[in-house]
Amino acid sequence: MNTSTIIFYAIAALILGAAILAVTSLKIFRSAIWLLFSLVGIAALYFWMQVEFIAAIQIVVYVGGIVVLIIFSIFLTQQSGKEMAKPATGKMIFSALAALFGIAFTFNLINHYGFNNISAAPFNPSVDEIGMQMLSTTSHGFILPFEVVSMLLLAAMVGCIVIAMKPTEANIVHLNKKED
Amino acid sequence: MNEVPLTHILFVSTALFFIGMYGLFTRRNIITMLMSIELMLNSVNINFVAFNKYLFPDKLDGLFFSLFIITIAAAEAAVAIAIIINLYRSHQSIDVDDATEMKF
């Protein structure tokens, strides 16, 4: 039991504890803050696995982007001090049973699989390695998914603007006509 | 570093996935359901990175998968929040039980 092992179990406890509080807290703003802690814990787990680039991306995109977006939408749509209604007891029990069954089943599978082909080759997830492979056009390059995902982001951006756009004058007239 | 076996990292990600599933089943508020989905996507990312590091350290494919999943999760969250705000504008509520017009 050395320091690295202890750090791993501490990070795991942080991730799981914060995640449980995030899905059970009745105040929606607290729930978002617990989600933030859980995501920071996952970033710490990536740092522990020595994949610093993914950890940085996790912090920038999730903590800096998605959680802030979620908190803004909470402020736009809710009275954040108010408690949400408690879920029905029966539903809570059956959901917890389903989740526990899933956890037990998967734990059992993982335990008995026995990953015995653990490789000892050096792992080099440096940024220049990732960048070279991301933009390479050879058979192990990821240029095609890179381009496709950039099109997806463009489409998502246009879609968000169209969905959230205020209805124009012409649309309002059209809607009013419909109501008449 | 190598004293923690791969299975323990997989245990953490499994538990995280089913915590997200529990949240998705019990919550009725769309924003909290979106948070549960984010937890599930993150557990998948942990799996990809751990498998890459422990089983195939000479390749980087798992890292690329998690990078693309993070990108798509960001796009998904943005579109979902645009839809949520639009729903709030028309229904004054973001509870899934209040938006049943398209229910068959």
Looking up tokens 């179990």 gives A9
Neighboring chain B residues of A61 at a CB cutoff of 8 Å: 70-71, 73-74
Question: Does residue B1 carry a pLDDT above 60?
Answer: no
User: How many CB contacts within 8 angstroms connect chain A with chain B?
Assistant: 215
With an 8 Å Cβ cutoff, are B12 and A28 in contact? no
Q: For chain A, which residues make up each domain, given as ranges?
A: 1-82, 126-180
Cα(B77)–Cα(A35) distance, integer angstroms: 14
Nearest C-alpha of chain A: how many angstroms from B36? 7
Q: How many residues does chain A have?
A: 180
In chain B, the domains with their CATH numbers are 6-98 (1.10.287.3510)
Q: What is the pLDDT of residue A117?
A: 67
Percent of chain A residues topping a pLDDT of 90: 51
**Contact assessment for residue B85 and residue A77, using Cβ atoms and an 8 Å cutoff:** yes
**Contact assessment for residue A49 and residue B61, using Cβ atoms and an 8 Å cutoff:** no
Phi, psi of A27, rounded to the nearest 5 degrees: -95, 120
Cα(B104)–Cα(A95) distance, integer angstroms: 24
Contacts of A126 (CB under 8 A, 6+ apart): A53
Nearest C-alpha of chain A: how many angstroms from B76? 8
Q: What is the pLDDT of residue A101?
A: 95
Residue predicted with more confidence, A84 or A31: A31
Please write the tens of the pLDDT for every residue from A165-180: 777 666 666 556 655 5
Comparing A22-36, A83-97, A116-130, B16-30, which segment has the lowest mean pLDDT?
Answer: A116-130
Report the chain B residue with the minimal C-alpha distance to residue A90.
Answer: B26
Percent of chain B residues topping a pLDDT of 70: 98
Neighboring chain B residues of A78 at a CB cutoff of 8 Å: 31, 94
State the pTM of this model.
0.88
Sign of CA dihedral B20, A154, A137, A49: negative
pLDDT band at A134 (very low <50, low <70, confident <90, very high): confident
Please write the tens of the pLDDT for every residue from A41-92: 999 999 999 899 999 999 999 988 999 999 998 988 876 667 777 888 888 9
With an 8 Å Cβ cutoff, are A45 and B46 in contact? yes
Please write the tens of the pLDDT for every residue from B18-67: 999 999 999 888 899 999 999 999 999 999 999 998 888 888 889 999 99
Comparing A56-60, A101-105, B85-89, which segment has the lowest mean pLDDT?
Answer: B85-89
Cα(B30)–Cα(B69) distance, integer angstroms: 21
Cα(A144)–Cα(A39) distance, integer angstroms: 29
Average pLDDT over residues A154-160: 92
Report the chain A residue with the minimal C-alpha distance to residue B12.
Answer: A12
Question: Does residue A124 carry a pLDDT above 90?
Answer: no
Question: Does residue B92 carry a pLDDT above 90?
Answer: no
The CA–CA distances, whole Å, from B58 to A34, A121, A125, A152, A164 equal 36, 6, 10, 30, 45
Cα(A67)–Cα(A73) distance, integer angstroms: 10
Cα(A80)–Cα(A31) distance, integer angstroms: 11
Cα(B2)–Cα(B19) distance, integer angstroms: 27
Average pLDDT of chain B?
89
For the domain A1-82, what is the CATH code? 1.20.120.1200
Q: Is the ipTM of this complex over 0.95?
A: no
Tokens found for residue A11? 């990070």
Cα(B73)–Cα(A67) distance, integer angstroms: 12
**Contact assessment for residue B88 and residue B94, using Cβ atoms and an 8 Å cutoff:** yes
